[in-house]
């Protein structure tokens, strides 16, 4: 097997989005808090 390539650069100079949810996963009313996630599935070479 080949060596895995690291694709994450945690020392980038780009701005990081603020944590506006602040781990409050129990909103006061329905349809108040929306979240999303972008995931890239690993693909075979």
What does the pLDDT look like over 1-45, one tens digit per residue? Answer: 678 887 778 888 888 888 888 887 788 899 988 888 887 777 766
Q: How far is residue 33's CA from residue 21's CA, in Å, rounded to a whole number?
A: 8
- pTM of this prediction? 0.35
Tally of CA atoms within 13 A in the half-sphere of 31 that contains its CB? 0
CB 21 within 8 A of CB 30: no
The whole-angstrom separation of Cα 42 and Cα 17 is 25
Check if the beta carbon of residue 21 is closer than 8 Å to that of residue 33: yes
């Amino acid at each position: 097997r080949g060596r895995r390539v690291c694709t994450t650069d945690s020392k980038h100079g780009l701005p990081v989005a603020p944590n506006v949810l602040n781990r409050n996963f129990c909103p006061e009313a329905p349809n108040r808090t929306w979240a999303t996630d972008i995931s890239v599935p690993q693909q075979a070479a």
